[in-house]
Amino acid sequence: MTVLTSPIAQRERIQMLDVIRGFALLGILLMNIEYFQRPMTAMLFGLDQSLEGIDKAVGWTVFTFVQGKFYTMFSLLFGIGFVIFCDRAKEKQHPRPRLFFLRRAAVLALFGWLHIYFFWGGDILLTYAICALFLVLFINKPAQSLWKWGIGIYLLPIIVVWLAAIGLHFALQDPATANEVLTDMRQSQAAIKDFIVQANTIYAEGSWQQVIAVRSEELSKMYGTGGMFFFLPTLLGIFLIGASFARSGVFTSFDKHPTAYKHLLRWGLLLGLPAALYTGFYNTNPNMLLPNPDSAFGFTIAAVASLGLCFAYMSLIALALRGAQRAKREHWLRHLAPAGRMALTNYLMHSIVFTTLFYGYGFAMYGEISRSMATAFAIGLWLLQLPMSKWWLTRFRFGPCEWLWRTLTYGQRQPFKR
């Protein structure tokens, strides 16, 4: 029996997935750059209504075409990677592929916890690791079953929001109940806005210990009151959709599925683009603290926009790479692949660079840089990461965080230098 003791070799990697990861890094950073200069709780109130001029245009563009779409892309890639990892473990006759994947997820959870504690509260890694506990239950499902489960679980938070909205709508028909509920909601909204003001001050001027304290309080407000209940099913649903793509060969054998990409592109644009534009023009200031039919409809439209445009973006990349392959030429998108291979390192680098730049214990530029300038900084860092990643990978087999992740997962030191 051959026991799997080494990660996927470079020749076994699927370059298209690395290209998509490299592209997703840009979208993630364009979204996150706002929340390196705002508390995460500000996300509850949508687009920053204080923006004007070019800052408003940049904020609107990111809110409409980026926010939600690229964390969806990363999540699909995680689901695809789950199937690739587990199937390879089975091929190598690993005795317990489920436990092996959970070990990998446990190491990711460690990265996530350290990221949250030392740097930034917008971490996604820890949540991914928690979701992985449920993902392994589907390890042997076929593609069609994974797709159905994925869509069903993705829709679950939407159904819950609508049930809450309808229930609250009827409850508010009673004047006494309406007064009590609306008073509570206004108080909750006012308390969160007061906290945002306090958090802004701490992030801008506070010590490292003060920042950690306010970040912990912020996370408890975001997830301790039911936020995780909505976030986890959404992520798990996306993971399973990604797993269905991998199991069916879509986005893993990209030269064999041109029709699938065209369908995903067509339906992604048909559903996702109008939904995104609706969100941008009519739902920039959602009241997520009061589940009414309007907020439920906005929540639904945002979910459609995120999944639809994500499909469209990924399919465009797949079709572009396939076209270049058929024409026997190199596509410029392939320059994104090294950054995608170092996605974990590059993702964590974003937080290290920008919290050091913005927070009070660093260069204390929090709130001093306009939204448009901060976005330019984000694009600049991403552009810098492209040649840096290529340079690094000509000398080393993995990014530093990827190497540590693999070493801890496989339980033995992995080769690092070339």
In a domain, 416, yes or no: no
If one counts every other C-beta atom within 10 angstroms of the C-beta of residue 127, the result is 18
Predicted local confidence at residue 3, as pLDDT: 47
Sequence letter at residue 335: H
Decide if 208 is inside a domain: yes
Structure confidence at residue 115 (pLDDT): 96
Beta bridge partners of 417: 396
Q: Could you tell me if residue 108 is inside a domain?
A: yes
Q: What pTM was computed for the model? A: 0.93
**Structure confidence at residue 76 (pLDDT):** 97
Work out how many domains the chain is built from and give that number. 1
Residue 286: predicted pLDDT: 67
Assigned domain for 4 exists: no
What integer pLDDT is reported at residue 231 of this predicted model?
A: 86
Helix, strand, or coil (residue 396): strand
**pLDDT, position 226:** 64
Expressed as residue numbers, the domain containing 79 is: 10-410
Q: For residue 200, what are the contacts with CB-CB under 8 A and spacing of at least 6?
A: 38, 39, 366, 367
> 2 in a domain, yes or no?
no
For 244-274, b where at least 16 C-beta lie within 10 A, e where not — what string?
Answer: bbbbbebbbebeebeebbeebbeebbebbbe
> What SS3 string covers 294-305?
HHHHHHHHHHHH
282 assigned to some structural domain: yes
Cα–Cα distance, 333 to 325 (Å, whole number): 12
Q: Residue ranges of the chain with pLDDT lower than 50? A: 1-3, 9, 11-12
Do 405 and 344 contact (CB within 8 A), yes or no?
yes
Asked if residue 5 belongs to a domain, the reply is: no
Report the DSSP beta bridge partners of residue 396.
417
Question: What pLDDT, on the 0 to 100 scale, is given for residue 254?
Answer: 66
Instruction: Specify the pLDDT at position 2.
Output: 40
